[in-house]
Amino acid sequence: MPPEDLEISRDSALVHAVSFLTIVQRSLQAVPPGVEDLFVGDLADEPTLIFDLNESPLFYDFPVALNGRPLGSVRVAATKELGHPWIAIQQALPFDTAASLQRAQALLDQEAAGSQIIEAKPVCHLYPNVGLLLRAATPGGRTVVRLFDPENPSRPLTEIPEGAPPPTGSEAEGPGPYSLLESLSEGTDPRPEFDRFDGLIERLIDEGSDSSTSSSPTDRPRRSIEDIKNALIWNAANQAEMLTRPAGRRAEGEASDQPEGQETERVLAVGHVRQEGQVFCVLACIRMIADSLQVGTLPGQQEMAATLQALAPPLFIPNEGILPSRQVEVFEHFFPLGFEVIFDDTPTWQEFVGEIDAGRAFKSGITRHARVAVGYQVTPVRPTQGESGILQRSLWINDPSRSAVMLEAHEVVTLDPNDPSVTLSVTPRVPRKNNSIFVRPSGP
């Protein structure tokens, strides 16, 4: 477990979730097809605490609904080790622990009859996926730790070693599980960055609360969702510098709060494709990108995998997937002549924007998983007097493993308080985007 000064309370997580959803809702101009209602929905104070594979608190997932209809969830940090409160607004519904426990018990009965589950908790075992970590007592008196993955309910329970080590062995995008916290680089204290952003949000809420019609914080033990939301909306509507106006957009005669030439959002209409197997994420990404570029009909994912496996040397490894170092060959195998496939293991925000502005979705790789980026969005957070402004840069992601679309935090830009056209720092957010594949028309 992390030190107490790293853990985030449920009350603080609620503030982070409401501020995330409210600020983004007020700044968005476009969203991917099919998730429009998610970004006009209401957040409920019924979070699910998600643990890391090492059993430390990792995320809070808050449900979002509209007129009682579940739409998705807002994911925020449960630990300052992540460096920032905001993680993602996602189409995926919060994890159903009760339903997963019932299915996991049935599987445990098949594999180890007579075993009794001692403890069960939701864990993020392969970001963004959540499974159920089981601690069970066998008839022989042993205690074993197993993982149930509801995305692959027919697979045997996975044995988890004590300590949940970081990713080792195969770096193919597809297999898991791994500990997200153990995979983070050491040496940098995440608390100052987290506390700075957290403090800014608190001060913005306090400013709005002073003139809001909602009750004073001293009259209640904790802020309600409406208190937080109303304070942020009041602040946005009444302050000289708007809290949630998209950076670069301005009223007539008003100065921009972002350097000229920097676009703030764009979304491509790219159909979602669900991966058909645990290690098929790259293949699903190829299908999505090919469909968006209208290159013709590709074979199904099972046939794609069989074709790649039959090559010498094979480009697809059963139960492992496809190594990032071989993915250019894989993409080239399925894209016709006239397209150039580029692998970049140090992708930048400017490259992301350039691809999306050119109308090209791209593969966005994280540890052991591949997704497709279909858009970008920049949300400015207005500074209080004398403080640095913040730009939250996010990517719209089609994630094949959860059959979900999400707006995922990518990096935070800190601006010079004396000159907002000057960038003081850029801090990447979890999950780290460690490689991308761009598919571009070749030739002039």
**What's the average model confidence in pLDDT over 54-72?**
96
User: Do residue 57 and residue 175 come from a single domain?
Assistant: no
CA distance 172 to 325: 9
For residue 251, is it within any domain?
Answer: no
344 with 305, same domain: the answer is yes
Instruction: Provide the pLDDT for residue 251.
Output: 31
pLDDT given at position 239 = 52
d(CA 402, CA 93): 10
Asked whether the beta carbons of 305 and 391 are under 8 A apart, the reply is no
The verdict on 169 and 128 lying in the same domain is yes
Question: What one-character DSSP code corresponds to residue 167?
Answer: P
Residue 3 vs residue 128, higher pLDDT: 128
- Give the per-residue pLDDT at 384: 65
d(CA 331, CA 43): 40
348 and 376: one domain?
A: yes
120: nearest Cα among 105, 134, 140, 106: 134
**Residue 402 — very low, low, confident or very high, per pLDDT cuts 50/70/90?**
confident
pLDDT of residue 391: 92
Residue 338 has pLDDT above 70, yes or no: yes
Close Cβ partners of 301 (under 8 Å, ≥ 6 residues apart): 275, 276, 277, 280, 283, 284, 287
Burial of 70 (0-12, 13-18, 19+ CB in 10 A): middle
Lowest-confidence range among 56-70, 78-92, 160-174, 417-431?
160-174
The DSSP result for 349-381, as a single string, is HHHHHHHHHTT--EEEEETTEEEEEEEEEEEEE
pLDDT higher than threshold 70 for residue 229:
yes
Judge contact between 44 and 114, C-beta under 8 A.
Answer: no
d(CA 126, CA 107): 20
Residues 204 and 172 in one domain: no
Query: Of 152, 183, 214, at which residue does a domain stop?
Result: 183
Per residue in 175-219, pLDDT (tens digit) is 678 999 998 877 778 999 999 899 989 988 988 886 444 444 444
In a domain, 377, yes or no: yes
Calculate the CA 117 to chain-centre distance: 30
pLDDT band with cut points at 50, 70 and 90 for residue 151: confident
Domain check: are 72 and 179 in the same one? no
306 pLDDT exceeds 80? Answer: yes
Question: For position 82, what pLDDT does the model report?
Answer: 96
Asked whether 361 and 352 are in contact (CB, 8 A), the reply is: no
Instruction: For residue 243, tell me if it sits in a domain.
Output: no
Q: State the residue for tokens 């920049």.
A: 378
29: left (phi over 0), alpha (psi -120 to 50) or beta: alpha
What is the number of other CB atoms lying within 10 angstroms of the CB of residue 225? 18
Cβ(120)–Cβ(108) below 8 Å: no
Domain assignment present for residue 247? The answer is no
* Pairwise CA distance, residues 248 & 423, whole Å: 15
Which residues face 397 on adjacent strands?
A: 373, 406
Q: Does 345 lie in the same domain as 287? A: yes
Could you tell me which of 170, 176, 27 has the C-alpha nearest to residue 89?
27
User: DSSP assignment, residue 218?
Assistant: G
Evaluate whether residue 245 is within a structural domain.
no
Contact present, 424 and 416 (Cβ < 8 Å): yes
Residues 153 and 16 grouped into a single domain: no
- 322 and 431 assigned to the same domain: yes
Evaluate if residue 163 carries a pLDDT over 90.
no
CA–CA dist 254, 361 (Å, integer): 33
pLDDT at 174: 67
Domain ranges, residue 122: 97-183
Average pLDDT, the chain: 87
Residue found by looking up tokens 């150039």 in the block: 340
Instruction: Give 185 or 138, the one with higher predicted confidence.
Output: 138
Distance (Å, whole) CA 334 – CA 332: 5
407 and 357, same structural domain? yes
Give me the CATH number covering residue 424: 3.90.70.10
Task: Indicate the pLDDT class of residue 167, thresholds 50, 70 and 90.
Answer: low
Q: pLDDT tens digits, residue range 79-127?
A: 999 999 999 999 999 999 999 999 999 999 999 999 999 999 999 999 9
Higher pLDDT: 403 or 109? It is: 109
Domain end: 183, 202, 230, which one?
Answer: 183
Which three-class secondary structure state does DSSP give residue 343?
strand
Mean pLDDT of 273-290: 94
The candidate with the shortest Cα–Cα distance to 341, out of 378, 413, 292, 289, is 289
Instruction: Report the number of distinct structural domains present in the chain.
Output: 3
Tell me, yes or no, whether 9 and 75 share the same domain: yes
Do 192 and 172 share a structural domain? no
Identify the band that residue 327 occupies on the pLDDT scale cut at 50, 70 and 90: very high
Q: Is 154 within a domain?
A: yes
DSSP state of 336: P
Residue 355 covered by a domain: yes
Report the percentage of the chain scoring pLDDT > 70: 86
Q: Does some domain include residue 316?
A: yes
Closest CA to 433 of 381, 380, 376: 376
pLDDT band at 241, cuts 50/70/90?
Answer: very low
pLDDT class of 10 with cuts at 50, 70, 90: very high
Model pLDDT, residue 177: 86
